[in-house]
Amino acid sequence: MGSKEAFRRIIFCVLLLLCVSCKCLTSEVNTTQLAVLKVDASPQHARKIPETLFGIFFEEINHAGAGGIWAELVSNRGFEAGGPNTPSSIDPWSIIGNESVISVATDRSSCFSRNIIALRMEVLCGDCQAGGVGIYNPGFWGMNIEDGKNYSLVMYAKSLENTELTVSLTSSDGLQNLSSATIQVAGTSNWTKLEQKLVAKGTNRTSRLQITTNKKGVIWLDQISLMPSDTYKGHGFRKELVSMLLDLKPQFMRFPGGCFVEGQWLRNAFRWRESVGPWEERPGHFGDVWGYWTDDGLGYYEFLQLSEDLGAAPIWVFNNGFSHNEEINTTAIAPFDILDSLEFARGSTNSTWGSLRVAMGHPEPFPVKYVTIGNEDCTKKFYHGNYLKFHRAIREAYPDIQIISNCDGSSKPLDHPADIYDFHVYGDSNTLFSMRNKFDSTPRNGTKAFVSEYAVSSNGVGRGTLLASLAEAAFLTGLEKNSDVVQMASYAPLFMNDNDRSWNPAAVVFNSWKQYGSPSYWMQTIFRESSGAVLHPVTINSMYSNSLAASAITWKASNSSFLRVKIVNIGSNPVNLIVSTTGLEALVNMRKSTITILTSKNLSDENSFSKPTNVVPVTRELPNAGEEMFAFLGPYSFTSFDLALGQQKHVS
């Protein structure tokens, strides 16, 4: 260091200390704290963070898929939700007209062998009411129909006589007609596939689909689908929800659960085979853990497609013989099902299951390189035996696949082979904040951790508060620091339909037409550049350090590089902070440097449909950016300094 630079640093520190001392003397009531954050940015002490560190976990919970990111507008489209015994409930379908003019009941006459239930509709009136009689479907708490947009209707019908159906998109009371078309049904004993494009001439956020007729007689209906034409890349996903995921820059996507994989009973577990192939032939199933029916339009193939669309590595969680109430003995279980699922994803075009993938529209293999054997099953009697049987079969057939165990290896080595182990943590804000040091003492040469589920989920968490996001941010700085033993991490749950809050809070909340990110969602956007970045050691010197957590990385955007220093102040006191960076090989460009702050007036502040940006990061210029820097941290805040790095320093 040159004498001039050393002199400038001495003067700088003296002035800062005088400034801090004066402020403390005049603001005893505020109990402003002093902290020094030291960052060692030297290359010799830097370490690469795994490319996969931060991603997302998608579980079919809170109607995240059905009525969520999967854009299908019809709920219970195949009339299967009422069960296999007929007559059965057709909820949420209802009749138009009364029981004196129309009679509906399910029977087992469908042309699809895997979902045999269909609806028999008998029209009893010869001179029916204006507009006809029939059935309507409100979708998932109302269909969002928007002016000028196209909607694709597909349904199957059978009538022994020629008849005419009117299909309409209307308001929830049927009084506003947004779009309507007439479809002819030829008299035949065979089922006919009917397709119709509907163009909306108005907007209504809580619309319904109507199918009506004025002609007396009997008609059977089945597999009625209504999809908007503007889904993401035409793949069936709601664009606005995909956009929010893309903004997180997820490096992986774990799917489809969670408890959704297991079921309370095995008969209700997710079965990948029944979720692939033509959508009309998928039987669907009742997700008994979260209490609702899914048609499985969002199936194994669609999860793989969504991963690809997001540029995220797929992590396939499969059932290995357990529900919440049952276990399959190791002697009775076989690994063929998982091997077939991997052949579907990765197999050649002429393989049995690979050819089905091709027929569905994806000739190229999906790059599945991670699988998780079960979910939270480690303590179950047959888990180890079942796990080893699956592990051997997968390793032999696909030696490159990383296999993830349910057993915790953070404190002691696993007693079975695994590339990665799964780790879940939920609790109150104190728990998550204290967990920032969880992996400090983990053996550095053992199996890597996948923190696949983390969140503040109790004690005043509300619908997702500022406090929750601060505790989670502190936890993530600890994962960055320990990214030599932590391979991946994801928040849970990802999505929540505002009409189904089975698990609260979630990162993204939506209804049929709006969405917003919780404070925890916005917190994660500040970590989206961490995957694949370079980590630098940091130390905090302060009597207040128990309320602070920090990390530092360098990351690149296009042709620019940045040193990002993140610090959480979860305490009630403001902090006068000195950031002192050593070891930088480049000069700091003050003009391109920024500061981003996530905070709010109250710890319990949330976001909502009426105030979607109540708690969001705010970015502004950082005019005093430099290797030695003074900053003020407000109480209950998460601050990120992005120091733009310019020309290389000249070594004298």
Span 391-415, average pLDDT = 96
Of 488, 442, 464, nearest in space to 603 by CA = 464
According to CATH, the topology of domain 35-49+534-648 is: Immunoglobulin-like (2.60.40)
Residue 12: pLDDT over 70: no
Reported as a single tens digit per residue, the pLDDT across 479-515 is 999 999 999 999 999 999 999 999 999 999 999 999 9
Of 141, 132, 124, nearest in space to 177 by CA = 132
Asked whether 165 and 183 are in contact (CB, 8 A), the reply is yes
Of 315, 151, 284, nearest in space to 225 by CA = 151
Q: Would 55-71+236-530 and 94-228 be classified into the same CATH topology? A: no
Reported as a single tens digit per residue, the pLDDT across 211-243 is 999 999 999 999 999 999 999 999 999 999 999
| 3-state secondary structure string across 7-65 | HHHHHHHHHHHHHHHHHHHHCHHHCCEEEEEEEECCHHHCEECCCCCECEECCCCCCCC
Q: What does 156-211 look like in DSSP terms, one character per residue?
A: EEEESS-EEEEEEEE-TTS-SEEEEEEEEE--EEEEEEEEEEEE-SS-EEEEEEEE
The identity of residue 228, as a single letter, is P
Q: What is the pLDDT of residue 9?
A: 52
Percent share of the chain, pLDDT over 70: 95
Residue 328: pLDDT over 70: yes
pTM of the entire predicted model = 0.94
The whole-angstrom separation of Cα 224 and Cα 71 is 14
Residue 331: pLDDT over 60: yes
Predicted confidence band at 651 (pLDDT cuts at 50, 70, 90)?
low
Of 450, 463, 452, nearest in space to 492 by CA = 452
Of 245, 254, 251, nearest in space to 515 by CA = 245
First-residue to last-residue Cα distance in the chain = 9
CATH number of 94-228: 2.60.120.260
Q: What is the pLDDT of residue 350?
A: 96
The whole-angstrom separation of Cα 364 and Cα 347 is 9
The identity of residue 180, as a single letter, is S
Span 189-207, average pLDDT = 97
Asked whether 426 and 596 are in contact (CB, 8 A), the reply is no
Predicted confidence band at 25 (pLDDT cuts at 50, 70, 90)?
very low
Q: What is the pLDDT of residue 368?
A: 98
Q: 55-71+236-530 is classed in which CATH architecture? A: Alpha-Beta Barrel (3.20)
The identity of residue 444, as a single letter, is R
Of 144, 161, 155, 142, nearest in space to 183 by CA = 155
Q: Which residues 6+ apart lie within 8 Å of 41 measured at CB?
A: 536, 552, 554, 563, 581, 582, 583, 584, 585
Ordered by start, the domain boundaries in the chain are 35-49+534-648, 55-71+236-530, 94-228
Exposure string (b/e) for 267-285, b if CB count within 10 Å is 16 or more? ebbbbbbbbbeebbebbbb
Residue 652: pLDDT over 80: no
Q: What is the mean pLDDT of the chain?
A: 94
Predicted confidence band at 13 (pLDDT cuts at 50, 70, 90)?
low
Burial class (CB in 10 A: 0-12, 13-18, 19+), 473: buried
Residue 8: pLDDT over 60: no
Asked whether 74 and 224 are in contact (CB, 8 A), the reply is yes
| 15-29, 128-142, 317-331, 524-538: range with lowest mean pLDDT | 15-29
The whole-angstrom separation of Cα 318 and Cα 376 is 12
What six digits make up the tokens of 205? 């956020």
CB atoms within 10 A of CB 387: 24
CA angle 177, 178, 180 (to 5 degrees): 75
Q: What is the pLDDT of residue 548?
A: 98
Q: What is the pLDDT of residue 538?
A: 98
Q: What is the pLDDT of residue 15?
A: 38
